[in-house]
Structure formats: structure tokens, C-alpha cells
Chain A
């Protein structure tokens, strides 16, 4: 599955089924390229989630197959990863969707008086 603006799925939330780790990686890469260790540290700070290295590489491979990220030339032995334009678009759609759900949840809590 590839994501692009031309294949008619640009407005679809393709990140809904990729898992939390993949979304966190995209969020972490949104402000610039990072390699594995930097990603783990950033995600720990950002979301208080400790990604295992096995989970990290699985998610990176999946995101790369979907063309949502790309690996840059190796710097020493580490490959930095960068978010692609379709990746940024997919992340925006996903975050918008989360915001809508979150707003609806808050509204219902208010209405329910809880």
C-alpha cells in the first residue's frame, strides 16, 4: 500500500491501523530526520513511551514500505530517517481525526456531568 496525493486516498486515515509506534515515529520525525537511538530518546521524552528496538525497526520498515518515511544515506553505521511529503500528509489526517474523537469525548464527558 502506498500513499500519495494522486491515488484517491489522500484524505483517508491510513495511520489508523499501523499501530501506536508508527504514529509516534512519524510525530518524532516531523521536526527533522533522526536515527534509531535519537528516535527512542525523543519518543520517551515526548510520550513517555519506551520503544523496544525490535518494535522500532519493525515500525520503520513498515513506514518505509508505505513511503511515509525514507532512509537517508548512512552516517557512520546509523541510517537517519526522514518523513516524506505523503507521510506528513498522512500524519496530519491522523492527528485531525484524533482531535475530532478527542473533542467528541470531552463534549460527552461534559454532557454526562462526569
Chain B
């Protein structure tokens, strides 16, 4: 591997470390890599070693960040994610019902017309329009329940 390519590879691996680590060791680590490559070590193995080190560095709890605080933050993030997924999955049905109810159509009629096409893979344009979020739910297959 030629020198500029090798140093680019190592640079990319070093960019995976947290900023705090790069401020402290970044220059030195790049220089060490250059010396090792000059000694005949392969740039790939050095980059891999730095990549693994970066992974460990991200996973190591920092002294300022208590483990309980980190776990709490992770739990909150997970529960927010789950809530968002649940909200997104219930949105099409509610969105399909809302405009038809406003026009005085019953729920069963709405089911028949809008989202309930058992066994069908067709897109339901009404659902998408009322959601206003095209990328979220493009296809709505018929569900297992009888309507």
C-alpha cells in the first residue's frame, strides 16, 4: 500500500475515536502509525487495531459519567424510541378514521373504505395523505382480523 493511502486509512480509523481522545492522543497516534508502517507493519492491521481501540474507548464508562447515569440515559432513549415506534404504528389507523368521521361516516364504513383491504398489498393513498408522512408507512397490507 502506498504511503498517502496508508496514512488516509489510519486517519479514518483515528477519526472513530471520541474527540476527547483525539485531542489527547491523535497526533501521537498518527505519528506512531507512520513509524510502525515505516518498520514494515501493514497499514490495514494498524487501522484495525485503532478501530477496535476506538470501539473500546466508546464503550468504556468515563469517570465523570457515572454508570447509573449512563444506564438511565440509555433507558430513557430506548423508551422514547419504543414510544415513537408505537405511535407511528398506530397513526395510520387513526389517520384513516379521522377525516371520514368528520364527514359523518361510521367506523365500519371507514374500515371498509380505507385501511382494511384484507390480503391486499396495495398502497392506501388516503392513509398516506392524512398522515402527511410519506416515508413512514408506504404500504399497508391487510391485517389478520376480520372487519
Contact = CB atoms under 8 A, between A and B. Distances in A.
B128 interface: no
A37 B32 contact: yes
A55 to B, nearest CB: 6
B49 A55 contact: yes
B135 to A, nearest CB: 38
A42 to B, nearest CB: 14
Interface in A44-89: 52-58, 61, 65, 74, 77-79
B46 A58 contact: no
B45 A79 contact: no
Interface size class of A (residues with CB under 8 A): 10 to 19
B56 A58 contact: yes
Contacts of A79: 25, 28
B93 interface: no
Contacts of B95: none
A40 B48 CA distance: 17
- Report whether over half of chain B's contact residues are helix, strand or loop; otherwise say mixed: helix
- Report whether over half of chain A's contact residues are helix, strand or loop; otherwise say mixed: helix
Contacts of A52: 45-46, 48-49, 52-53
A36 interface: yes
A35 B31 CA distance: 11
A33 B1 CA distance: 33
B28 A36 contact: yes
A53 B29 contact: yes
Interface of A: 35-37, 40, 52-58, 61, 65, 74, 77-79
10 contacts: A35-B28, A52-B53, A53-B32, A54-B49, A54-B53, A55-B52, A58-B57, A74-B28, A77-B28, A78-B28
